[in-house]
Structure 1
């Protein structure tokens, strides 16, 4: 597994896709994982996880004060503290599945061979 991260809109997805193609790996976006986790939680149960739902990230960063951005960043670790049952459901652990048209082994995210 190779993780590539950074601020929104700087090209992580482009780099990840090119690297995955070169290494014959499948890809999974953290946006996809976040969407899956949000599907098995609610804003009431995990408000920090749903903080950015439906928000244009570019608008979010330019419309908030530095203090608010810091506060939101400090809340992010709380968003990732989910019970393992919810994480397993969100990740589909142990089950092969299709991701963006590719057969993907959920344990390694490597393309499954037919």
Structure 2
């Protein structure tokens, strides 16, 4: 499951949906959920949906650029704790940090930035 900030704008959500779809294709997963902190589906709703679909182990990945904000430090862990209280038999594993702090993501963003600069 990927967690991001969220927006009502479909253009904002498209890159995260593409990430979800690529991840699902690469690992052969049938269900990878997206959850948002500021818009539905919430973390708890996305976990409830996965549980209803029969999932018993859920890996929660913060799809944010920086690990230094309140979402990674407070909001996401609190949401996962609430979900664990609601579904105590489900194994919920919160990946520490943020996806964007991985050196491979930083390198990919640098390359994309250079490519965009050249194309303008």
Relative to the length of structure 1, the TM-score reads 0.28
Greater RCO between the two (CA within 8 Å, min separation 6)? Answer: 1
Relative to the length of structure 2, the TM-score reads 0.27
Q: Which has the larger radius of gyration?
A: 1
